[in-house]
Amino acid sequence: MDPNQTTYLDSINSAADLRALPRKAIPALNREIRSFLVEKVSEHGGHLASNLGVVELTVALHRVFNTPSDRIIFDVGHQSYVHKMLTGRRDRFESLRTVGGLSGFPGRNESEYDAFGTGHSSTALSAALGFAAADKLAGRNNFTVAVVGDGAFTGGMVHEALNNCDPDMRLILILNENEMSISKNIGRFANYLARIRASGGYGDTKRNTKRFLLRLPLLGKPLYRLLRRFKRRVKNTLYGSNLFEEVGLHYMGPVDGNDYNLVERLLCSAKRQARSTVIHIKTQKGKGCAAAEHRPTEYHNIAASHGASVRFPTVFGETLTELAKENTDICAITAAMADGTGLVPFSAAYPDRFFDVGIAEGHAVTFAAGLAAAGMRPYAAIYSTFLQRAYDSLLHDVALQNLPVSIFIDRAGLAPSDGATHHGIFDVAFLSHIPNFTILTPATYGSLRAMMKDSLAIRTPLAIRYPNAAESDAVVSTYYPNGEYESYGMRADFTLADTPHAVIVTYGTTASRVLAAKEHLTALHYSVGTVLLERLTPYADVAARLYALLPPTVKTVVFLEEGIYNGGAAMLLTDAMRVMDAKNGGALRFRTLAIRDSFVSPTVPCDIYEYAGISTTDLINAVIEELS
């Protein structure tokens, strides 16, 4: 289908427009939506397979419910593209996942239809429960719908929310099963029962029967309880009970979630009942796109351009697989991110020592602590932004017991395409105040490999952070011209015999911006040296080494950090060096460029590093100001 031929889609600028469409137009609309998705996501990158799978569901939700008064909350939110298209944001898809453009996730500041901002998994039901409770307290008749994938049920928050659900709420949980098998009652008869339960007559019959029996004197209540027990026993014998019914929620399904008519009928039935209800659907990832249907993992999140094939996660995975050949105590742990963290080779080579714990980062870290306490060497690879969920486990279960757990922090730094929910800018700050942790920040593949080899001899908690990026040739040639990676830690491009007036200090991928700034400043006849840190702790020792490294000619030290300032490495090192310099007359000036009190979420197109105040230009201007 030609994506430009959008007879119905072009007419929809709000959910009200969608509800005004004749029912017969829906099949054609769904085809237009899929064609539009494939074209735009293929061009600009983004989550394709999951969005193709929820077309019928999303259309039905906005037609059945009175959005935005009724709210739809998408767990994670990566499957909200259709929702955005139908709520007045279709013309912004040219800016999808660009800085200041259309976000790849729901956001309260983007649209009134985005009731709650999401980006991490397993949060939607808790938030939806909060909305539903507030409505009940205020006497409002709004509905709240949480769309939750089956993968989210590997995270603990969903179960905590289920345990707290009140059956007497206008809350609807859509369980979207697209990969895992959760319920065994799938088949023609189960679908037939689901169709009956979705019909208005079924609900009316249940209610009328209950009212009739309860009105009978003496025998009414016992007869009703007997009939209800008999019904449950028959159903449980044939199909088994499920978690949702055990906690008192009305359950419907599982049904084909790509059957629009059936999905709409179930939603209408749930709306009529006006009580907490679970609708269990099964959808096909990549629906309507042959390539995405056959390879849903590959098409889960596609990039506009693939870029370098070798990146830091690739090197991590390959190196850990090599190390595990010689050390049978090595175990690898991921929280549902085996592909992203580079652990697929390890999982294939050592399946018995590979653990994918699901979307449960806190559990992943405490599980690693248990492995370490029992004598194993666990290596847990977790995205920086997701590691935030494991703070208590890091502090209480790993650091307090001083266990040799190695945490590999992937996706460190800003995430321009994914936005604030995925920026890895807080890990250094929250790890820095946890005792016993060693924090390493490799800027080259060679230093990452060296750190991993050394990690086997470290008997205390270790964190190694790196971006999802390729190493910089300029960084390698400047700081490791002879390939002496075993001496990682602190590398300078000057000696005490040189005469720089300013020294720029940084760590991680910002080293390439530092070198670019130095080149520009040198052309302007400023004398500048640079220092690359690949070990951040213990801060007192690093600060002492750094201070001793400075030639007498240095007037100012400028730190550049792609992380939050408060509690970050730059702040801690600067404070320590100021104390040292005060003892020597306090002649040095210090300047820090870091992210200040911000989640870094621009609303207009811009350079995200300029927006955060840590661009090459910002660094150049800071040095010039300090030396003027």
Confidence at 192, pLDDT banded by 50, 70, 90: very low
Whether 361 is catalytic is yes
Residue 236 has pLDDT above 60, yes or no: no
What mean pLDDT is reported for the chain?
90
Q: What pLDDT does 581 receive? A: 96
| Other residues' Cβ atoms within 10 Å of the Cβ of residue 378 | 27
Of 48-57, 180-189, 311-320, 607-616, least confident by mean pLDDT is 180-189
Q: What pLDDT does 196 receive? A: 41
Residue 190 has pLDDT above 50, yes or no: no
Whether 484 is catalytic is no
For 366-375, what is each residue's pLDDT tens digit?
999 999 999 9
Q: What pLDDT does 7 receive? A: 85
Mean pLDDT along residues 502-528: 97
Confidence at 207, pLDDT banded by 50, 70, 90: low
Mean pLDDT along residues 168-175: 96
- Domain ranges for the chain: 9-183+249-294, 312-465, 487-627
Q: 9-183+249-294 has which CATH code? A: 3.40.50.970
* Extended strands (E) in 257-329: 277-282
505: CB partners within 8 A, 6+ apart = 530, 531, 533, 546, 557, 558, 559, 560, 570, 573
| Percent of the chain surpassing pLDDT 90 | 80
Q: What pLDDT does 194 receive? A: 52
Mean pLDDT along residues 117-145: 96
d(CA 198, CA 268): 8
Of 202-211, 261-270, 286-295, least confident by mean pLDDT is 202-211
Q: What pLDDT does 43 receive? A: 87
Q: What pLDDT does 212 receive? A: 67
Residue 195 has pLDDT above 60, yes or no: no
User: Can you list the alpha helix ranges (DSSP code H) found in 118-252?
Assistant: 124-138, 156-163, 188-198, 200-215, 220-239, 243-246
Q: What pLDDT does 208 receive? A: 64
Tokens 């061009």 identify what position? Answer: 43
User: Can you list the alpha helix ranges (DSSP code H) found in 414-531?
Assistant: 427-432, 445-455, 473-479, 510-523
Q: What pLDDT does 291 receive? A: 80
3-state secondary structure of 601: coil
Q: What pLDDT does 165 receive? A: 94
Q: Which of 40, 285, 353, 465 is catalytic?
A: 285
For 475-499, what is each residue's pLDDT tens digit?
999 999 999 999 999 999 999 999 9
- Identify the sign of the CA torsion 151, 100, 519, 569: negative
Residue 446 has pLDDT above 50, yes or no: yes
Q: What pLDDT does 384 receive? A: 98
Q: What pLDDT does 203 receive? A: 53
> What kind of architecture, by CATH, is found in domain 312-465?
3-Layer(aba) Sandwich (3.40)
Q: What pLDDT does 206 receive? A: 57
Confidence at 4, pLDDT banded by 50, 70, 90: low
Q: Which of 177, 264, 361, 471 is catalytic?
A: 361
Q: Which of 89, 353, 389, 513 is catalytic?
A: 389
Pick the CATH number of 487-627 from 3.30.70.520, 3.30.390.10, 3.40.50.920, 3.40.50.360: 3.40.50.920
Phi/psi of residue 463, each to 5°? -125, 125
- Give me the half-sphere count of Cα atoms (radius 13 Å) on the Cβ side of residue 270: 31
Q: What pLDDT does 238 receive? A: 45
Mean pLDDT along residues 441-451: 98
Whether 285 is catalytic is yes
Residue 430 has pLDDT above 50, yes or no: yes
Of 171-185, 370-384, 546-560, least confident by mean pLDDT is 171-185
For 357-367, what is each residue's pLDDT tens digit?
999 999 999 99
Of 152-156, 211-215, 330-334, 342-346, least confident by mean pLDDT is 211-215
For 549-567, what is each residue's pLDDT tens digit?
999 999 999 999 999 999 9
3-state secondary structure of 103: coil
| Percent of the chain surpassing pLDDT 70 | 89
